[in-house]
Structure 1
Amino acid sequence: MSAALFDLSGTTAVVTGARRGIGYAMAEALAAAGADIIAASARQEADGGAIGRRVRELGRSFEGHAVDFTDRDAVIAFADAVKDRADILVNNAGTIRRAPAAEHPLEWWDEVIAVNLSSQFALAQRVGAGMIERGSGRIIFTASLLTFQGGINVPGYAAAKSGISGVVKALANEWASSGVTVNAIAPGYIATDNTEALREDSERSEAILSRIPAGRWGRAEDLGGATVFLASPASSYVTGVVLPVDGGWLAR
């Protein structure tokens, strides 16, 4: 197998939520494979901040956009600004709110569904239309272990991430014949800001670690290889898949 199958030189990748954590690692991996990066986060600096510096260190160009993913008009405006340049879309922006289901504020539910599901479909719809016109493209969503499970105290997040699986399959069914693949990566328990509360809870952290065959929390950079694979020519016959990167959690 030729390494050229994983070469992204000459492509442009749009990565949402790239300012930190998993999105940062995904953008870094894509840039290392040769892609120029357009990044969007709620507080994304125009020069990119840390991720912008890293992308430029890797010899690629960077463009940053601040986008409120609870604002549908803002998401659509961003999509329209990048759709003609996007060879790869990584739909990673997300948020999480924790409270028992019986006490979970409906405002939190609305926010999480807007950011983690509705905005992601809107962005994929607009950018995907451009890919269909050109006859090629790669769309990668960030799913979750809660795409397969219900979780605890995160009903909105579980609903949104379960919905991502359906969106991936629906778009894959419609767009594969146009040369556009649509897949998702389901990270396991990764040491990021989103899991800080779990890692600081000694009982929950111990229970989680005891189920991970790899014996450790994941690192954001553990998602890089899967991201490059799904963005590259190597995955041209892979679509409609939710790929767990979880240290073996789902195998237990």
Structure 2
Amino acid sequence: MTCMSMKLLEGERALVTGCAGGIGRGVAKALKAEGATVLGSDIAAPPSEDGIDFLAADLAKPDGWRALLEGALERLGSISLFVHAASPRRLESDTPLTVSEDTWDAMTGINLRSGFFLAREIGRHMRDGKIKGRILLITSQHRETPRNLPHYSAAKAGMTMAMKELARVLAPDGIRVNAIAPGAIPGGGFVAGNLGELVAQIPLGRAGTPDDVAQVAVAILSERFGRYVVGTTVEVDGGLGLISWIPAHA
């Protein structure tokens, strides 16, 4: 029997946003471990021990995504994998009746505006270069269920539809666009004062980790496991989506 020693993403060139921590950091490390050349981006650099090549970018700024794309293409030469995991930290106090315009703009600007335009222009780059690339957006369970954080839920819902729109137009060129919707993954932007109560409701009995999401990302992005997956949102939530309980706060 021949041993398949080839790594799943050998030879791929990847750009990962939100790489300084949480899910983005986990995904960047996993792609690198599977043989991809990875360029991570965030406001702050990831820990040096990760060995992730880094390019700083502020995706809350109107032209932040454009500067990142130009810099990434200069560094990588071409992009065959793009993962958008960047998202601001969300605070439980930013409820429908209290969230500010600045907080709304930062959340939707980084998640939806920058995510869409980066994905679209990278998709064009892939199409023009005849690269059968893959694009992955990190959304949330709360793209469909209220979280009492309207700016976050709205941004993730918009990302989900943007993913589907891009998937339809890019699939004929062999470019696959998908999303992952994580459940309770502490770290990064996730902060919950009632985490213990939430975990008690998860069918698998534990909160998730960035690596739980990262391993699914690797599978979707690989041509060995994900080659027929297009326009799909994959839930990585330990079964949380199977229950109706939703954490509430004032």
One-letter amino acid of the structure 2 residue matched with residue 38 of structure 1: L
Among the aligned pairs, what percent are the same residue? Answer: 29
Quick one: which amino acid aligns to residue 17 of structure 2? Answer: T
Change (3 A) 1:4 1:86: farther
Question: Helix, strand or coil for the counterpart of 1:81?
Answer: helix
Alignment partner, residue 243 of structure 1: 234
The alignment yields a C-alpha RMSD, in angstroms, of: 1.9
Which has more helix, going by share of residues? Answer: 1
Change (3 A) 1:128 1:251: same
Q: 1:219 aligns with which of 209, 213, 216?
A: 209
Distance 1:94 1:4 in 2: 35
The 3 A distance-change label for structure 1 pair 5 and 251 is farther
Say whether the 8 Å CA contact 2:81–2:133 is kept in structure 1. yes
Structure 2 counterpart of 1:85, one-letter code:
S
The CA deviation at 1:82 is 2.6
Q: How many residues align?
A: 235
Q: Residue type matched to 1:236 in 2?
A: R
- Matched ranges for 1:1-252 at <5 A: 7-44=8-45, 49-50=46-47, 52-55=48-51, 62-83=52-73, 84-95=77-88, 96-98=90-92, 99-135=94-130, 136-152=132-148, 154-196=149-191, 198=192, 201=193, 204-233=194-223, 234-252=225-243
Q: Residues 206 and 230 of structure 1: is their aligned pair in 2 closer, same or farther, counting only changes over 3 Å?
A: same
Over residues 24-56 of structure 1, what are the superposed CA-to-partner deviations in whole Å (9 max), with x where a residue is unaligned?
110111111100111110123xxxx52x5324x
3-state SS of the aligned residue for 1:15? strand
CA contact (8 A) 1:213 1:247 kept: yes
What are the ranges of 5 or more consecutive residues in structure 1 without an aligned counterpart?
Answer: 56-61
In structure 1, distance between residues paired with 2:157 and 2:7: 29
TM-score of the aligned structures, taking structure 1 as reference length: 0.87
Q: SS of the counterpart of 1:108?
A: helix
Structure 2 letter corresponding to 1:147:
R
TM-score normalised over the length of structure 2: 0.88
Contact preservation (8 Å) 1:143, 1:161: yes
1:182 counterpart SS class: strand
Q: Give the SS at the match of 1:129.
A: helix
8 Å Cα contact 2:7-2:35 kept in structure 1: no
CA distance in 1, matches of 2:18, 2:188: 13
- In 2, the alpha carbon distance for the partners of 1:3 and 1:94 equals 36
| Contact in 2 for aligned 1:172/1:182 (Cα 8 Å) | yes
Are the equivalent residues in 1 in contact too, given 2:55–2:71 (CA < 8 A)?
no
Contact kept, 8 Å, 1:15 with 1:92, in 2: the verdict is yes
- Secondary structure of 1:72's match? coil
Whole-angstrom distance in 2 between the partners of 1:102 and 1:212: 29
- Where does the alignment leave 5 or more consecutive residues of structure 2 unmatched? 244-250
Q: In the TM superposition, what is the alpha-carbon distance from 1:71 to its structure 2 partner?
A: 1.2
CA distance in 1, matches of 2:227, 2:183: 25
